[in-house]
Amino acid sequence: MGGFVRGRMIARRIIQALPVLFGVVLVTFLLTRALPGDPAAYFAGPAADAKSIAQIRESLGLDRPLPEQFWLYLKDLATGDLGVSISTGQPVMAELARRLPASLELTLGALLISLAIAVPMGVLAATRPGRPIDHFCRILATAGVSLPTFFTGLALLFIFYYLLGWAPAPIGRLDFAYLPPDPVTGFYVIDALLAGDTETAVAAFSQLILPMATLALFTLAPITRMTRGAMLQALGSDFIRTAKAAGLSRRKIIGRYAFQNAMLPVVTTLGMVFSFTLGANVLVEKVFAWPGIGSFAVEALVVSDYAAVQGFVLSMALLFVCLNLAIDILYTLIDPRVSIDG
Amino acid sequence: MERRTFLKAAGAATLGASSLSLLKALPASAAPSGVAVVAISETINSLDIHRSGTNRPSYQIAVNCYDRLVAFGTKTMPDGSLSYDYSKIVPDLAASWGPSADGKSLIFKLRDDARFWDGAPVTAADVKWSLDRAVTLGGFPAVQLKAGSLEKTEQFVVIDDLTFRIDLIRESKLTIPDLAVPVPMIINSKLALQHATPDDPWATEYLHRNPAGSGAFKIARWDPGQQIVYERNDAWTSGKLPGVKRVVVREVPSQATNRALVEKGDVQLAFGIPDKDASELAGKPGVKVVSTPIENCMYCIGLNVNFEPLKDVKVRQAIAHAVPYADIFKVAAYNKGAPMWGGPSATPANIAWPQPFPYDTDYDKAKELMAASSMPGGFETTISIDLSQSNWMEPTALLLQEGLAKIGIKTVVDKIPGANWRTASLVEKRLPIHLETFGGWLNYADYYFFWAYVKGHLFNSSNYYNAEIETLVDETLHAETDSPGYEAKIKRMIEIAFHDVPRIPIWQPTLNSAMSTKLAGYEYWFHRQLDVRKFDVS
């Protein structure tokens, strides 16, 4: 597939995504309004009377009819203005710009670790079914899914921070002795390296290790299981039997023919794991005081902070449109038979 | 670019300590001297207390970065910790004050050496602008100032640069103390006005991010959702210069993490920790726990008289006898706080508030009262709790449910999400049996009654009405405590509350903080927020 064809494919996918995004905007708008609870009363504070609540309602624009509110929201959206989050007092755009990289740094880091462990382990387990490595893989996968992340997080903290003192204090992305690097990518480790400040990069990375390990343990399970299953299926198929009969080396059979064919379902799983991890790491964020997007969204939802919830859902929708696109492109690279149009 | 300005300011020796902090060879109590690190579990959402939507943890900015006309004194508690002193009003930006000749105004003389951070002198015009702003922007600041009879901008008059007058709507004992709460902070109006726009005449957008005060600390950094860094204002004139140069306030949502941080010495103070952690941390080496009873505050069971069975005073008294107080106190409060049950007599001996109500767990008496009531066969209803306070509300509700079942009242526990709680319990007042936590900033019984026992007022979630209480509150709210008849009226008020029990107090809660034994100067305040102005790290 040539670059031009791929370019057209990407353009078409983006156009296809537009109605989806509009649907997301409309549905989140209606859903947030349907939530019980009155943000005006909540934000008017502990000693507010009816008059001050009405004042807040007016300043939030909540006294207008719904269609008008929606129209104003769309108009702001068109200019890239996602509104102001009343619970954090910051523009939603600024919050997302600050918190999304924090969550992505954590999630992507965890997925990388988890891939580096899970894929070789899955392959080993599939090629040696019933042997100790297979059992070990099963135990690790079961433990990974069944231990809730906040528990794993607290347990790791207890051992490596509280008892052993190896890990730094869990107070966010950087110890208070360091200033965050100038934002380029928003990933502290990369930004610090770009600025040539290895000390800050090391400090930021050391803050990452425990939360990353916690999430990696959690994501290990589905990836290992999927790799193992896909490998087993591939190894049992006709073309492998043919390859064996043709006398190809075991390394070539497993490494090239079986593994490449097993990768499709693994990539699919990876996409799914990424999406739920990004949302599900709210508990890890709480334990490690990580200023990520999950805790922001949950807090916003709890207090009916409309602008923040809408901004969060919209940015997630955008992220997933991109993610699905990336995965589809990856498919075409792995398996030439897969066509985007199909 | 000065990436490490922070450490440079604190001296060269700190560089070693910080790289060691990666390896944790040293606890971070080896942090640069003159720096204190505090962990709070909530988030600061604005640097301007007057802004609508500013949450409670943000009030600490008003406390630490701004001065007021007057301030509360400080006293030492029996356990050696510091507490603000309600009975003592001391000068802050005003050197002296007093009533005018006709008694209809208060005159304040400002200190001539008071300066804002940018060096501009503090003038009466700044005071007027700040108070005007507080009463005009509406919401909580306006309500709080109204409690001190400070309602309209016409009341605030500039006489000359250093003389300021407040014209009184009425004489009230609440006016002066209300000027010492965080809300009426004095803002650098010249600086703020440079950032005002026709749409935003009170510079709310600017002051939301940039405090402009004269207080003990400036803000060196604000990373929303992560941290506030206070930097000492070395030219502060309103008090003794703080012992620490910098205070880093980190937002750490998980209480378990907070607890580990303070135990390991990586933070010097974990502010506002749960009762459970406070009782378990006490006695750990290197950690000091301070639990201060919250003044003028009670955790209560509210009985909504709009519901037929609860209208009957006998039913309410029966319920007050069917509460397993001691069990609740143990399970929900870890025995932290002051019990509010088992009072000795149905008539109060003094005007102390809060004081124990004359009820105790006595199921026989409760059954007798039920039998004599309009509901001898019992009834069914709900106990409503706030999910965001479920750590103590849930065990309390379950134990209460058990107690009520013994006298024939069948209940289901109704859990309400935090965002709806205020609307349901305080605004619509539609919850039959519920839990309530009001605490008054101004420490008078009449002030509590004004909010919680007067019909239609916000914290009267029981819809309680008693004509005599309304009169008594009217007569006492603004009266001086030494005025004739004051004490008798307050006693009568408490006596009616004892008898009618629209609110059944369970205990007076405490504010708990755990700190390093090296940290001095922790002070309790009625507003229950962090004051770092007296901090010193040894």
Q: What is the CATH number of the domain that holds A106?
A: 1.10.3720.10
B306–A contact, CB cutoff 8 A: no
| E strand or H helix that includes residue A77 | helix A66-78
Strands B35-40 and B269-271: parallel
Contacts B28 to A, Cβ<8 Å: 169, 175
Contacts B138 to A, Cβ<8 Å: 51-52, 55-56
In a domain, A39, yes or no: no
Contacts B256 to A, Cβ<8 Å: 154, 157, 287
Interface test with B, best of A56, A151, A171, A191 (most B CBs within 10 A): A171
- Res B27: pLDDT: 39
In a domain, A276, yes or no: yes
Looking at per-residue confidence, does B345 or A337 come out higher? Answer: B345
- Res A45: pLDDT: 65
User: Could you read off the pLDDT tens digit of each residue along chain B, which spans 538 residues?
Assistant: 344 444 333 333 333 333 333 333 333 444 456 899 999 998 999 999 998 878 889 999 999 999 999 999 999 988 888 999 999 999 999 999 999 999 899 999 999 999 999 999 999 999 999 999 999 987 788 889 999 999 999 999 999 999 999 999 999 999 999 999 999 999 999 999 999 999 899 999 999 999 999 999 999 999 888 899 999 999 999 999 999 999 999 999 888 899 999 999 999 999 999 999 999 998 889 999 999 999 999 999 999 999 999 999 999 999 999 999 999 999 999 999 999 999 999 999 999 999 999 999 999 999 999 999 999 999 999 999 998 888 899 999 999 999 999 999 999 999 998 778 888 898 889 999 999 999 999 999 999 999 999 998 889 999 999 999 999 999 999 999 999 999 999 999 999 999 999 999 999 999 999 999 999 999 999 999 999 999 998 8
Q: Cα–Cα distance between B400 and B299 in angstroms, integer? A: 14
CB contact under 8 A, B227 and A176: yes
- Res B32: pLDDT: 54
Highest mean pLDDT out of A12-16, A52-56, A143-147, B129-133: B129-133
- Res B7: pLDDT: 39
> pLDDT tens for residues B181-227?
999 999 999 999 999 999 899 999 999 999 999 999 999 999 888 89
Residue B325's nearest CA partner among B309, B310, B338 is: B338
Contacts A197 to B, Cβ<8 Å: 3
Flag whether pLDDT at A51 surpasses 80: no
> pLDDT tens for residues A143-160?
887 888 888 888 998 999
Flag whether pLDDT at A54 surpasses 90: no
CB contact under 8 A, B28 and A161: no
In a domain, A126, yes or no: yes
CB contact under 8 A, A180 and B223: yes
Distance from CA of A105 to the nearest CA of B (A): 16
Distance from CA of A196 to the nearest CA of B (A): 12
Interface test with A, best of B226, B259, B262, B416 (most A CBs within 10 A): B226
> pLDDT tens for residues B513-536?
999 999 999 999 999 999 999 999
- Res B20: pLDDT: 35
- Write out residues 371-410 of B within 8 Å (CB-CB) of A: 388
- Average pLDDT over every residue of A65-92: 85
- Res A84: pLDDT: 83
A282–B contact, CB cutoff 8 A: no
Of the partner residues B31, B224, B267, the one whose CB lies closest to the CB of residue A90: B224
- Write out residues 241-280 of A within 8 Å (CB-CB) of B: none
Instruction: Name the burial class of residue B212, with classes exposed (0-12), middle (13-18) and buried (19+) by CB atoms within 10 angstroms of its CB.
Output: buried
- Res A339: pLDDT: 58
CB contact under 8 A, A302 and B418: yes
In a domain, A256, yes or no: yes
- Res A126: pLDDT: 87
Report residue B528 CA to chain centroid gap. Answer: 4
- Average pLDDT over every residue of A306-323: 85
Residue B419's nearest CA partner among A281, A150, A32 is: A32
Looking at per-residue confidence, does B212 or A137 come out higher? Answer: B212
B455–A contact, CB cutoff 8 A: no
**pTM of this structure:** 0.84
B223–A contact, CB cutoff 8 A: yes
Contacts A37 to B, Cβ<8 Å: 417, 419-420, 423
Of the partner residues A52, A161, A168, the one whose CB lies closest to the CB of residue B143: A52
Beta strands, E only, chain A = none
> pLDDT tens for residues A181-235?
888 888 999 898 888 888 889 989 999 999 999 999 888 888 898 898 898 888 8
Structural domain boundaries enclosing A264: 99-303+323-334
In a domain, A121, yes or no: yes
Single-letter code of the amino acid located at B352: A
Flag whether pLDDT at A304 surpasses 80: no
Residue A282's nearest CA partner among B388, B254, B57 is: B254
- What does the angle CA A7 – CA A8 – CA A13 come to, to the nearest 5 degrees? 100
Q: How confident is the model at residue A48 (pLDDT cuts 50, 70, 90)?
A: low
- Write out residues 186-205 of B within 8 Å (CB-CB) of A: none
Residue length, chain A?
A: 342
DSSP string covering A230-267 = HHHHHHTSHHHHHHHHTT--HHHIIIIIIHHHHHHHHH
Characterise A132 by phi-psi region: left (phi > 0), alpha (psi -120 to 50), beta (else): alpha
In a domain, A237, yes or no: yes
Contacts B461 to A, Cβ<8 Å: none
CB contact under 8 A, A44 and B423: no
Q: Could you give the number of structural domains in chain A?
A: 1
Instruction: Name the burial class of residue B165, with classes exposed (0-12), middle (13-18) and buried (19+) by CB atoms within 10 angstroms of its CB.
Output: middle
- Res B302: pLDDT: 96
| E strand or H helix that includes residue A116 | helix A92-127
Residue B525's nearest CA partner among B73, B215, B150 is: B73
Structure-token pair, residue B393: 């509300």
In a domain, A89, yes or no: no
Flag whether pLDDT at A326 surpasses 50: yes
- Write out residues 171-230 of A within 8 Å (CB-CB) of B: 171-173, 175-182, 195, 197, 199-200, 202-203, 206
A162–B contact, CB cutoff 8 A: yes
Contacts A289 to B, Cβ<8 Å: 226, 250-254, 257
DSSP string covering B323-355 = --HHHHHHHHHTT-SEE----S-SS-SS--SS-
Flag whether pLDDT at A102 surpasses 70: yes
- Res A176: pLDDT: 76
Distance from CA of B318 to the nearest CA of A (A): 31
- Res B361: pLDDT: 95
Contacts A36 to B, Cβ<8 Å: 417, 419-420
In a domain, A50, yes or no: no
Contacts A49 to B, Cβ<8 Å: 143, 458
